[in-house]
């Protein structure tokens, strides 16, 4: 598996202030060869989508612990479409109840991860999703 040459934005939308998970994922992605752009805390979906366009990323990973995952994924997807970044994939991770998975996929999430998953599983899934044709 290699994410060499892939550019991935790791972003923290919404109001929760914990970014250990985001940083763990960012480092793991780097160690898999990806170029990872990190936004810092408390960014709006509008801002995240703009950054994704300017940085020309292959995917945006949203780390959300606040419970507003559905709304934030939907909004990020809406802005990405508005800025013509519809080819940019969205992943979401954090505290996400399984029963929300289907709604999240409908809202635009290609991959949904939770804290009980092993990092190498997460990386393998991201690799598979990014290798698939857009």
Partner 1 sequence: MLDPAARRELARLITRLANAGTQEVLAEPPPAITKPARRIGFTGPPGAGKSTLVGRYVERRASAGCTVAVLGIDPASPYSGGAILGDRVRMDDAAGNPRVFMRSVSSRDAFDGLCNNVADILLALDARGFDEIVMETVGVGQAEHAVKALVDTVVLLMQPETGDGIQALKAGILEVADVIVISKSDMPGAARMRENVAGTVRFGARRSAGWDVPVIGVSSEAGTGFEELEAALAKHAAWAGAHRDAGETQAMRTRYRLQDLLIRRLETVLDELAAAEVNAASPAALYDRVVSLLGR
- Shortest spacing between CB 24 and partner 1, in angstroms: 12
- The helices-and-strands tally (H runs, E runs) of the chain is 5, 5
CA torsion sign, 37 to 43 to 44 to 45?
Answer: positive
Between residues 82 and 121, which has the closer beta carbon with respect to partner 1? 82
Between residues 96 and 126, which has the closer beta carbon with respect to partner 1? 126
- Shortest spacing between CB 96 and partner 1, in angstroms: 24
Give the C-alpha separation, 12 to 19, whole Å: 7
- Shortest spacing between CB 13 and partner 1, in angstroms: 14
Chain residues in the site for partner 1 (CB under 8 A)? 3-5, 7, 26-27, 29-40, 47, 50-51, 53-56, 82-85
Give the C-alpha separation, 53 to 71, whole Å: 20
């Amino acid at each position: 598996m290699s994410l060499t040459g892939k550019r991935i934005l790791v972003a923290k939308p919404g109001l929760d202030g914990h970014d250990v998970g985001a940083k763990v994922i960012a480092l793991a992605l780097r160690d898999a060869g990806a170029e990872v752009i990190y936004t810092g805390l408390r960014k709006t979906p509008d801002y995240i989508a703009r950054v994704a366009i300017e940085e020309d990323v292959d995917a945006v990973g949203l780390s959300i612990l606040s419970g507003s995952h559905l709304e934030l994924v939907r909004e990020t997807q809406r802005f990405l479409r508005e800025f013509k970044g519809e080819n940019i994939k969205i992943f979401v991770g954090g505290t996400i109840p399984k029963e929300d998975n289907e709604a999240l996929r409908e809202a635009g999430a290609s991959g949904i991860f939770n804290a009980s998953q092993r990092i190498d599983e997460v990386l393998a899934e991201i690799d598979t999703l990014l290798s698939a044709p857009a």
